[in-house]
Amino acid sequence: MTAFQERWQHRRARADAALDARLPAATEPPARLHEAMRYCCLNGGKRLRAMLVYAGGEIFGAPEHMLDVPACAVELVHAYSLVHDDLPAMDDDDLRRGRPTCHRAYDEATAILVGDALLTLAFAVLTADPALNVAPERRLRMLDSLAAASGSRGMVGGQARDLAAVGRSATLEELQTMHLAKTGALIRASVTLGALTGEADDAALLALDQYACHLGLAFQIVDDVLDEESDTGTLGKRSGADRALNKPTYTSVLGVEGARTAARERHAAALDALAGLTQDTAALRELADFVVERKF
């Protein structure tokens, strides 16, 4: 195992334990809701967004026990988005992270409530968790960043654009706008929240944000290639889903080879954005490599 893989395993275990500790017990009433929340969060995601929090924080001296808090917050928002995205009113998927989706394992009403409760818990954790010992102004900036990334000018807005694009063609620019919001906003917030836990100044935050913009697009382009080329068993979710839903994707607009080239360009631009930082950015560069090389 490489040092990068070892660090990933260590931090994934940290993020899982931090989520486990902050989610309500499955036995606490209303037990079915709490059990379903745990089902949707403690189910083997890659924890990429948590990794970005840890990597963004460590280069500015933030300790891991503090970074657990924003790592949990972004993974809770991410888990909520997946639960709602899988609902029949949206992508209508049966499989997520290799298991039945929330509305399949439970029911639709429970899945809606699970999403609502996970989103709310994310903000409760970021607001009040005592492990995050930062100045109140820093905490407010973190809350503001996560709220902006999650709402109608961020992820929810991107999802609205995605749903409106079903059955239509799209230009590259339209795709980019949609994915910067739908996928990119939370990836950007993840890096920012990590850096805000540490001592990053505004110039560094700007450079990191540029890195994260390119990374978010690279992630989505690779997601589109994998959706075309991989299989359901490897992905843990239905492959070919975008084509089945008749959605415009990077592969439908650029072709598979064109999409691969675009991902490599975004990867290079992400690394360029880090070039002006004086800190050791190896962990962020390795995460960018992972995003374009990943097979799942």
Whole-number minimum distance, CB 84 to ligand GRG, in Å?
Answer: 4
> Which residues of this protein are in contact with ligand GRG, per CB under 6 A?
45-46, 48, 78, 81-82, 84-85, 97, 155-156, 159, 182-183, 220, 223
Whole-number minimum distance, CB 54 to ligand GRG, in Å?
Answer: 15
Structure tokens at 114: 């699970």
Contact 146, 126 (CB under 8 A): yes
**Position closest to ligand GRG via CB:** 45
Helix (H, G, I), strand (E, B) or coil at 95: strand
With respect to ligand GRG, which residue has the nearer C-beta, 71 or 200? 71
With respect to ligand GRG, which residue has the nearer C-beta, 159 or 197? 159
With respect to ligand GRG, which residue has the nearer C-beta, 81 or 145? 81
Give the span between the Cα atoms of 12 and 55, in whole angstroms.
12
Q: Is residue 97 left, alpha or beta, with left meaning phi > 0 and alpha meaning psi from -120 to 50?
A: left
Contacts of 272 (CB under 8 A, 6+ apart): none
Handedness of CA 144, 146, 152, 157 (dihedral sign): positive
With respect to ligand GRG, which residue has the nearer C-beta, 133 or 234? 234
Whole-number minimum distance, CB 278 to ligand GRG, in Å?
Answer: 30
Whole-number minimum distance, CB 287 to ligand GRG, in Å?
Answer: 12
